[in-house]
Structure 1
Amino acid sequence: MTDMRRITDPAVLKGLAQPIRQKLYRLLVQSGPATGATLARRLGTDPGQTSYHLRELAKAGFVEDAPELARDRRERWWRAVPGPTGWSSADFPTPEGQAITSAVKAQLVLDEFERVRRYEQTRDTWSEQWQAAAMSSDSFLRLTAAELAELTGELHELVVRWKDRGRAAAASADATTAGAGDGREHVFLFFHAFPERP
Structure 2
Amino acid sequence: MSEMRRITDPEALKGLAHPLRRQLFRQVAQFGPTTGAVLAKRLGLDAGQIAYHLRELARHGFLEEAPELAKNRRERVWRAAPGAFSFSERDFEAPEMQAVAGAIGAQMAVQQFERLGVWQRGAESWDESWQQAMTSSESYLRLSAQELTDLCDELHTVLRRYRDEARQDARPDDGREHVFLFFHAFPERPES
Same fold (TM over 0.5): yes
State the Cα distance separating 1:59 from its structure 2 match: 2.0
TM-score, structure 2 as length reference: 0.88
Give ranges in structure 2 of 5+ residues lacking alignment.
Answer: none
Identify if the C-alpha distance between structure 1 residues 83 and 159 changes in structure 2 by more than 3 Å, giving closer, same or farther. closer
The residue that corresponds to 2:84 in the other structure is: 84
TM alignment of 1:124-143, pairs within 5 A: 124-143=124-143
State the Cα distance separating 1:3 from its structure 2 match: 3.2
The residue that corresponds to 2:10 in the other structure is: 10
**Number of aligned residue pairs:** 190
TM-score, structure 1 as length reference: 0.86
Identify if the C-alpha distance between structure 1 residues 147 and 64 changes in structure 2 by more than 3 Å, giving closer, same or farther. closer
The residue that corresponds to 2:179 in the other structure is: 187
Distance (Å, rounded) in 1 between the aligned partners of 2:137 and 2:105: 21
State the Cα distance separating 1:72 from its structure 2 match: 4.5
1:44 corresponds to which letter in structure 2? G
The residue that corresponds to 2:38 in the other structure is: 38
1:40 corresponds to which letter in structure 2? A
Which 4+ runs in 1 deviate beyond 4 A? none
Moved more, 14-23 or 57-66: 57-66
Identify if the C-alpha distance between structure 1 residues 48 and 136 changes in structure 2 by more than 3 Å, giving closer, same or farther. same
Moved more, 151-160 or 33-42: 151-160
Identical columns (%)? 56
Identify if the C-alpha distance between structure 1 residues 112 and 70 changes in structure 2 by more than 3 Å, giving closer, same or farther. same
Give ranges in structure 1 of 5+ residues lacking alignment.
Answer: 171-177
Identify if the C-alpha distance between structure 1 residues 3 and 143 changes in structure 2 by more than 3 Å, giving closer, same or farther. closer
RMSD of aligned Cα (Å): 1.9
